Structure 1
Amino acid sequence: MTTEEEPVSADERYVVGVDFGTLSGRAVLVRVRDGVEVGDGVHEYDHGVIDEALPAGARLGPGWALQAPRDWLDVLRFAVPKALAAADVPASRIIGVGTDFTACTVLPATADGTPLADLHPARPHAWPKLWKHHAAQPQADRINALAAERGEPWLRRYGGRISSEWEFAKGLQLLEEDRDLYGRAERWIEAADWIVWQLTGRESRNICTAGYKGIYQDGGYPSRDFLSALDPDFAEFPAKLGHDLAPLGGLAGTLTARAAAWTGLPEGVAVAVGNVDAHVTAAAADAVRPGQMVAIMGTSTCHVMSSDLLAEVPGMCGVVADGIVPGLWGYEAGQSGVGDIFAWFVDNCVPARYNQAAAAAGLTVHEHLTALAQEQPVGRHGLVALDWHSGNRSILVDHDLSGLIVGQTLATRPEDVYRALIEATAFGTRVIVETFEASGVPVEEFVVAGGLVKNRFLMQVYADVLRRPLSLIGSSQGPALGSAIHAAVAAGAYPDITSAAAAMGRRVPSAYVPDRRRADAYDSLYEIYRGLHDAFADGRVMHRLRALR
């Protein structure tokens, strides 16, 4: 029998992965030798997404999306112990913990890591800005215009435009709208790094968020001269960021006594360098080799892919050296709204009789609409939609764009629109894949992860629209499993992420294959989609409409 004093054999070692999502956090306990998930726990955030008013009552403007740091700590206090209890594995067998976060979710803090939200709870800019905080679009527009005017070389690494979701746009918004608070913010830190700080007691910054969300390229951030041209007080902004960046899979530190008391994990176990939810999922799917594009599909979709080629891909979210695995270029693209669009439609546009019919059949409204939609042949509804209800991340990088549905008549039914919205998100993904390949970065395998993999009809639509097979991740908890894989590397159980992913990650190759007849029919609809996409890409119509709100 193993005791705490005896060494733990390789077959008995475990790691914990903790995934901090948009509405909840999940912890998973994973066996190191083969990636088997033996226990999990979930904790819903008490505050969820703060997008209308602060807890203290102050109203928020359009496009705001905030979170509460205390909610994240509660995941450590509740979800991790739940996972340990479910697994019934002695804590002494756990050798490491890894974490991942949504990004760019960023917060202002003091030099010791205290969130300004704890000190100034009545001030909106003191709170962490969630990834889908889009109120910094004017600042992003100014950054892009100035960078293009000056020919800043880093802009090409982001497809020609940086996003309002990222660190510099949100930081500039803080400066311009609350200069006093900006001065009090000694740190501007990704939640992915802040949570690791709480676990280890040591500040660290990871190469992934710095590169993709912090415009860190070729050893540095945008120049002081450039930032000063935006606002003289913005010149020293990089001093609030990290400079000694840590590699993915690296050891950030060890678990403190305080964090051990929160989690029930042994003090002193390895804590992996922080990471982003989408990027760790590539390891969970064992898809970290060149040409394997992983689409993490949920409320939004993030596309990540490693490659040994460096190219400028229009509208990509970024290409970062060592951004997914050390030694390769990591590419990222994405769609701002996918599952969110389907949820919006169900919540706002479906008659009561559909809800009643779904309940009578023992189905959710989504399942009922899917069942009706999949009975139709391709194109029967006569609709084409643009999937820009949350703006367009790739390839247009404009969060002030909006959704569009063309072809509706008095005969159009809810299932018609629901299907058209599903198809629109697939068309948006095809635009991204085609843009990569046209730029000389081949996509050899398309791997799907995330909550939407459960919708078999949606998966088949994507296979048909993309005209290529879809591989599926072998876990329903991809980010948490990916974080656990990184923990195993940080603890020394594997020499690198690639070997750990091969042992612990899993996917089902070619789980869905395209039907040639449907694919041919979708080509015609896609041609119409591209026409609409290009016609409305300049934003002249949609920006004017948005200004009326």
Structure 2
Amino acid sequence: MGVDGGTGSLRVAVFDEKGKNMGYEVVEYDTYYPKSGWAEQDDGDWWNAMKTAIPAAIKNSKVDPKEIVAITCDATTSTVVLLDKNDQILRRPILWMDVRAASQAEKITNANHRMNRYYLSGVPAESLIPKCMWIKENEAEIWNNTETVLEYTSWMNWKLTGQKTVDNSIAAFRWFYDEPAGGWQKDFYELIGLEDLMDKLPEQILKTGETLGKVSKETASVLGLSENTLVIEGAFDACACMLGVGSVTAGGMAMIGGSSTCLFGLSEVEFHSEGVNGAYPNCAIDGTSLVEGGQASSGSVIAWFRNNLAPKEWFDEAEAKGTTLYQIMDKYAAEIPIGSNGLIMLDYFQGNRAPYSDSLARGMFVGLSLGHEISHIARSIMEGVTFGAAHCIKAMADSGYKVEKIYACGGMAQSDFWMQMHADVMGIPIYITKESQSAGCLGDAMAGAVGSGLYASIEEAANNMVAVDKVYTPIQSNYDDYQFYFEKYMALWPMVSDLVHDMVNYINK
């Protein structure tokens, strides 16, 4: 069983040893936005989702709970959970996309320490470490009463087993944990004024595929699981998806498109470059370093369009045809020529993760005219998100990490139109696997298969459990047409960044 705690929902799936999805369930939950750039969730919503989705997935699979050998969880990264000495939640968890800690991230960026080599373009405010600094500075009583700092993933593992652990992939990815150099760098935390964090983190650090324990008696009763089911350490959400699409060897690239988009590759060497986050050593698979690019807002911009701009007629058409609003959006966007008649959308609605790592960045439309209609806006959004991913891939190539194929998953991978657009803009073939919608759950199940002894390694699990379903090959004429607009997209932010920063600082003062 794989349990994937995403930004908008909890997804649970049961797989057999060949990667066949036996049963699947999705339960949505809310996100709260107290201020511009802030985002929080409720752990009670997470628990209710687990209590609904896990039994439903078991029922849908028609599998006896006793046959579920292992369960593995993943969830959004840098989502901060604080527990007191009685294991009571102290405040609503701060979601990964929350960028309130921009000034704290800047303080870390300006600190003269070797750990900043992972973020040469700037430390992302969405990271757990600056968020903890913000809590310490702005909610001192809560911080002082905090006994344990967890991530969403470790919270789920704790609910399942009663064990508090740290996921090695999360620690290496966002907590400045450097295993080759001995792990935690105490002088780094002292330098940024967060030395007391060490006393609040769980002591045990587990790697993907290692065993935490078994499902506790109480939790098994509530969730309909067996007490004999092993709980295996997984990886953070996007990393689980990378495993789930089979991008498990050096030189590949996974594009995980959800509310945000993550672009991950594995390098045989640890390198560091502006515009590319990482590379994080031994993050996902020992002997490799994780190369990171990504967008803070991608699918969430499409959702924003759906919720605020999509015309009623599109919803009516979707209902009449028994399809989704997104498919209707594809239809009308496809009727608009490349470049949206001179309209460019900048996708920085919740900041920029790469290549600028700018938490104060915000989105915009440039080139609007009275001749533009809602279909032009729809296409410009899809193009803008695609340009953002292509910008990350270009930054990697400029650093020497050349991408020759991309394995994509998530909501965007369900759109043939959008995937072909990505291939055309990047000039790189895009591969879609059979379980692209539940890649995170499959990556979890692969970790469970390794942890329970079914397969000897993640690579062996991928060879047996992952299969390619579609390939989108770049169309050269489209690639040529897109380059003018892509270049203008890349030129835009440096020209307007100071103005946007002033506006964001003004409304947040």
Whether these two folds match at TM > 0.5 is yes
CA distance, structure 2, for counterparts of residue 496 and residue 426 of structure 1: 33
What displacement does 1:189 show? 1.3
- Structure 1: gaps of 5 or more residues: 1-15, 52-59, 118-125
Quick one: which of 175, 181, 184 aligns to 1:221?
184
Contact 1:317 1:334 in 2 (8 A): no
Contact 1:309–1:441 (Cα < 8 Å) also in 2:
no
Q: Which moved more, 1:237-246 or 1:320-329?
A: 237-246
2:397 aligned residue: 437
**Secondary structure at the counterpart of residue 477 of structure 1:** helix
For the Cα contact (< 8 Å) 1:159–1:313, is it kept in 2? yes
Letter in 2 for 1:482: G
The residue that corresponds to 2:450 in the other structure is 489
**8 Å CA contact retained: 1:446, 1:470:** yes
1:24 maps to 2:9: yes
User: CA 1:316/1:109 → structure 2, altered by over 3 Å: closer, same or farther?
Assistant: farther
Q: 1:370 aligns with which of 313, 330, 334?
A: 330
Distance 1:211 1:340 in 2: 26
Alpha carbons of 1:102 and 1:180: their partners in 2 closer, same or farther (altered >3 Å)? Answer: same
SS state at 2:4 partner:
strand
In the TM superposition, what is the alpha-carbon distance from 1:478 to its structure 2 partner? 0.9
Task: Report the Cα offset of residue 365 of structure 1.
Answer: 4.2
What's the counterpart of residue 540 of structure 1?
A: 498
In 1, Cα distance between the equivalents of 2:191 and 2:241? 38
Taking every aligned residue pair, what percent have the same amino acid on both sides? 28
Closer, same or farther in 2 for the Cα pair 1:30/1:243, shift >3 Å?
same
Alignment partners' CA distance in 2, 1:73 and 1:380: 43
Q: What are the Cα deviations for residues 308-332 of structure 1, in whole angstroms up to 9, with x where unaligned?
A: 1211132334322221222211222
| Closer, same or farther: CA 319–110 of 1 in aligned 2, 3 Å | farther
Deviation (angstroms), 1:242: 4.0
* 1:66 aligned partner: 40
Matches within 5 A, 1:30-49: 30-32=15-17, 34-45=18-29, 48-49=30-31
- SS of the equivalent of 1:290 reads coil
Q: 2:155 aligns with which of 167, 175, 194?
A: 194
Once residues 326 and 506 of structure 2 are traced to their aligned partners in structure 1, the CA distance between those partners, rounded to angstroms, is: 32
2:417 equivalent among 447, 457, 464: 457
Greater shift, 240-249 or 98-107, is seen at 240-249
Amino acid at match of 1:212: F
- Taking the TM superposition and a 5 Å limit, the aligned residue runs for 1:219-368 are 219-224=182-187, 226-231=188-193, 234-352=194-312, 355=315, 364-368=324-328
Aligned-partner residue type, residue 137 of structure 2: E
Question: Does 2:115 align with 1:131?
Answer: no
Question: Can you list the C-alpha shifts for 1:136-169, whole angstroms capped at 9, x where unaligned?
Answer: 1121122212x2xx2x111112334211111111
One-letter amino acid matched to 1:142: K
Query: How far apart are residue 352 of structure 1 and its match?
Result: 4.7
CA drift of 1:400 comes to: 1.2
Residue 481 of structure 2: SS of its match in structure 1?
helix
> 1:519-538, aligned counterparts within 5 Å?
519-536=479-496
The question of whether the paired residues in 2 share the 8 Å contact of 1:20 and 1:101 is answered with yes
Deviations 1:184-242 (A, max 9, x none): 11111112112112212222111111111211123333434x544544xx332222224
- The structure-2 alpha-carbon separation of the partners of 1:311 and 1:184, relative to structure 1 and needing over 3 Å to count, comes to same
Matched position secondary structure for 1:398: coil
TM-score normalized by structure 2? 0.94
Q: Which residue in 1 is equivalent to 2:461? A: 500
Equivalenced residues, count: 504
Paired position in structure 1 for 2:344? 384
- Find the aligned partners of 2:241 and 2:439 in 1 and give their Cα distance: 5
**Which of 140, 146, 150 is matched with 2:105 structurally?**
140
Q: 1:244 to 1:349 in 2, by over 3 A?
A: same
What whole-Å deviation, never above 9, does each CA across 1:273-330 have from its counterpart, x for those lacking one?
Answer: 1421110112211211111111111211011211212111323343222212222112
Alpha-carbon distance in structure 1 between the residues aligned to 2:219 and 2:374 = 49
Cα distance, 1:362–1:37 mapped onto 2, change above 3 Å: closer
Select the residue among 58, 66, 91 that pairs with 2:65: 91
Change (3 A) 1:201 1:365: closer
Name the CA shift for 1:64/1:534 in 2 (closer, same or farther; >3 Å). Answer: closer
Aligned residues of 2:345 and 2:380 also touching (Cα < 8 A) = yes
Give the 3-state SS of the residue equivalent to 1:266 in structure 2.
coil
Aligned to 2:52: 78
Q: Aligned letter for 2:499? A: V
Could you say if the C-alpha distance between residues 358 and 269 of structure 1 is closer, same or farther in structure 2, counting changes exceeding 3 Å?
Answer: closer
Measure how far apart 1:363 and its partner are.
5.3
CA distance in 2 between partners of 1:527 and 1:399 (Å): 22
Cα displacement string for residues 331-385 of structure 1 (whole angstroms, at most 9, x for unaligned residues): 2221011111122223323455555566566654433332122123323511222
| Deviations, residues 97-133 of structure 1 (Å, cap 9, x unaligned) | 1111011112111356x2433xxxxxxxx22111111
- Larger Rg over CA atoms: 1
| TM-score (structure 1 length as normaliser) | 0.87
How well do the aligned residues superpose, as a CA RMSD in angstroms?
2.0
